[in-house]
Chains A and B, each alone.
Chain A
């Protein structure tokens, strides 16, 4: 198989997308109603795609596992959305957003995709404002911006600390309008459990109704997966409890290659773990690093006295504090990219200078900002985040610094897609976090919202028409053998899970998998640990299929069974992540191999041997996946060692 990114050749970077839009085939308005499109997932990418397809005239079926499309986890994104509007007159441009994103991703993403993302970013803001998204504004009534990690301009649009919520509600309202018009049929509380491929093309999905347990088939001319990331492989992450990889993973087993699975983002500012009962981790928006200063005690001795409770944080004089990000990276200071901030937090904690009872935390201190701007100004910017912190920790961040620690937050890897966002299965598209396309080895803050809405509003509506225009109108009936077979395999898997009646709960397995992933495939990785993890996951997976305990029956609302399906997939995906991390013998972005680092402990890339996308082909559950490489060409940026000093 040769991976063809299908980037139109012969154009300058700035002309690629415009020319592509002109060259793609169109479906005339009267014929659009003859095509059916399935969209799985209703976050920013899925809801915006489904709504826009409906507006164009296609017949859309949209699916989500939550009780309403508005609950998708995009809703929890806090800080903001980037766009190259240059409203602040501070030197921003489409090229600068493109450049920052390529560099922030440590040169492991496609130039043409990222440039297109930067181009359409400006349209997204216009669209959202027209929908009634209440972005923050200045007193003159125009839109306000804030700065974010990995950039030296203010290009982030925001709605207090709830930007994801407001953007998703905008997309949800557009979706609702199409549901009311009858162009979109919405299926909430419905989970996709298999992809149906007929004559090599994606022609539908098999779903389970989560209320009745009924397994049903849906046929269409194209299928879009917008099902988010796979951070929950780690059990503890900032993802929602229900976020899962099942749709994408089952598509992978049906032929869609999975790209760069080891590229996971560990977000530097999360509330630290407090106990073994912990079910998830909570993010504190990166925007806090605009005003908060990150520090730990200068010496191990002070940190030890602090952890023992002999002194409190406010007893530590200024001279005994190490503002390590400002010290090491004077140009970017506390606003270095996420991977750099996370790794440095781990470094100081590994040195024994961490704080909190576990020693796995660093301070994020607002004392100086409060002194400078006053408490009301800080509350206006971050009030809801401070409240959330206090609710969880019972500590007042206005009076003492927040304790933070990195946590799994986002996955840059995902289904491999070409420039049209089509996977290696014709007719199957992947959008948003579900695909691998735009963030390379590290995503910059406020870029996930941008990518989700870019894919859904402004990319897929063009590229999907190019595919559909070549498709016959005929529908594949759901009694076609491919549907019958897929339904049967879903039912068989459910029966198998219910019949084991073992002794260990699904969560128990999930927690053990998460611990293996965090210890060996987390912020720092090495060959020995990864090799061990691979065997440990295989063993755990074997045990899962012998000893898992799933109660109840299929024909009911059965949350244990839902989870069992998802964890069964995590147990396979986890191994692929480890395999990918083991094969990539370099460090880049969020993938830090201890064997490959500079003398200053920065990630050491190997552009000669690893400037490619690693796309893996499924060969069987216990088989070795097959590696396909898509070489990355850099014609508009110079590959350099990233420096934020």
Chain B
């Protein structure tokens, strides 16, 4: 099929960007979206033009490196799908597709469609861990964990840190991302020791990074490619209130 792409091009963090139109022809419906961009980039290279920079790595939907705001949707039109797993069979011959980077003040653009998501890493560094050193831990079966609790923690732990929640939110809030880690660790017995300091420190870092406030629109969960639930935000709020009411972060 033949398509028209409108792609955000921006030289670097400080340059002004603009949408540039590119026609692409002969696209197979079995191609992934990123393979379609590969085809365009090979054409651009042959013509001596600069290829479009975009982030990607595993192309299996698990590393969280790919992004792209496609026709106004984070990771495009398919529910529960990262851009790398989106296939062209979901588009029609003759379609015009607009491709933009994640748009959020906390995610500045490096180049074209590549953004800086290091704010997420800094939030994780603020408390997204259990403080155990290597060695000297109890036997793995020493503390039974009810299957339902373990499953719930697992669901929260599947966040791929892609940033779609922030991109989808009109306030560019990072609440869903932060809540996934807070919930996972607060649910598990191993994580309970530090639950109060963890939630306070992670939320403080989130605010410092310039993410917006949460107004409960639910756009984040609707667009999350791995189905992180809004329940996690509820849990974050209750964890936060509990922590603040009985703060240990002196």
Contact = CB atoms under 8 A, between A and B. Distances in A.
A binds B: yes
Interface of A: 48, 51-52, 55, 66-71, 73, 75-76, 85, 87, 123, 125-132, 134-143, 159-160, 162, 165-166, 169, 172-174, 176-177, 179-180, 186, 188, 211, 240-242, 274-275, 277-280, 282-283, 387-388, 391-392, 394, 457-458, 461, 503, 505, 507-508, 549, 551-552, 556-557, 559-560
Interface residues of B, number: 77
B126 interface: yes
B120 interface: yes
B115 to A, nearest CB: 9
A131 B140 contact: no
Interface in B51-75: 51, 53, 55-65
B141 interface: yes
B190 interface: yes
A559 B34 CA distance: 14
A68 B118 contact: yes
Nearest to A501: B48
B87 A392 contact: yes
Contact of A560 (B12, B45, B145, B161): B45
Most chain B beta carbons < 10 A, residue from A159, A177, A282: A177
A132 B181 CA distance: 10
Nearest to B64: A71
Most chain B beta carbons < 10 A, residue from A131, A134, A461: A134
Given A68-B120, A125-B140, A551-B48, A277 B31 contact: yes
Contact of B118 (A188, A280, A394, A457): A188
17 contacts: A67-B117, A68-B118, A71-B64, A85-B140, A127-B135, A129-B190, A131-B190, A137-B147, A173-B130, A176-B125, A179-B125, A188-B121, A240-B57, A240-B63, A241-B57, A392-B85, A549-B45
B98 interface: no
B8 interface: no
Contacts of B184: 132, 134
B140 A129 contact: yes
Contact of B144 (A66, A140, A162): A140
Contact of A70 (B64, B132, B137): B64
A85 to B, nearest CB: 7
A68 to B, nearest CB: 5
A55 B134 contact: yes
Nearest to A129: B140
B76 to A, nearest CB: 12
B150 A131 contact: no
Contacts of B185: 132
Interface stretch (B152-160, B171-179, B215-223): B152-160
Contacts of B161: 68, 70
Given A71-B64, A556-B12, A556-B111, A134 B59 contact: no
B144 A458 contact: no
Given A52-B134, A73-B58, A551-B48, A137 B150 contact: yes
Given A130-B137, A134-B150, A240-B63, A559 B128 contact: no
Interface of B: 11-12, 28, 30-32, 34-35, 38-39, 42, 45-46, 48-51, 53, 55-65, 78, 80-81, 85, 87, 89, 110-111, 114, 116-118, 120-121, 124-126, 128-135, 137-141, 143-147, 150-151, 153-154, 157-158, 160-161, 184-185, 188, 190-191
A581 to B, nearest CB: 28
Nearest to B67: A67
B135 to A, nearest CB: 7
B129 A177 contact: yes
Contact of A559 (B32, B51, B153): B51
B118 A67 contact: yes
A137 B114 contact: no
Contacts of A85: 140
A213 to B, nearest CB: 11
A166 B124 CA distance: 15
Contacts of A559: 51, 53
B157 A169 contact: yes
Q: Which 3 A-B pairs have the closest CB atoms?
A: A141-B144, A173-B129, A130-B137
A70 to B, nearest CB: 6
A55 B125 contact: no
A132 B124 contact: no
Contacts of A141: 144-147, 150
Nearest to A177: B129
B56 A123 contact: no
A559 B53 CA distance: 7
Contact of A130 (B48, B57, B130, B154): B130
A129 B190 CA distance: 8
B22 to A, nearest CB: 16
B39 A277 contact: yes
Contacts of B191: 132
Given A176-B129, A557-B114, A166 B157 contact: yes
A279 B141 contact: no
Given A132-B188, A140-B144, A141-B147, A51 B134 contact: yes
Given A76-B63, A507-B42, A560-B45, A126 B144 contact: no
A118 to B, nearest CB: 16
Nearest to B44: A551
A279 B32 contact: yes
Contacts of A552: 50
B28 A275 contact: yes
A280 B56 CA distance: 12
Most chain A beta carbons < 10 A, residue from B110, B114, B124, B147: B124
B34 A279 contact: yes
A169 B151 CA distance: 16
A177 B131 contact: yes
Contacts of B118: 67-68, 188
Contact of A176 (B55, B89, B110, B128): B128
A71 B65 contact: yes
A131 to B, nearest CB: 6
Given A166-B157, A552-B50, A130 B132 contact: yes
A67 B162 CA distance: 11
Contacts of B28: 275, 277
Contacts of B39: 277
Contacts of B58: 71, 73, 75-76, 240-241
A21 B144 CA distance: 32
A73 B158 contact: no
Contacts of B42: 505, 507-508
Contacts of B85: 388, 391-392
B51 A551 contact: yes
Contacts of B81: 391
A132 B185 CA distance: 6
B50 A457 contact: no
Contacts of A275: 28, 30-31
B139 A126 contact: yes
B62 A162 contact: yes
A275 B78 CA distance: 22
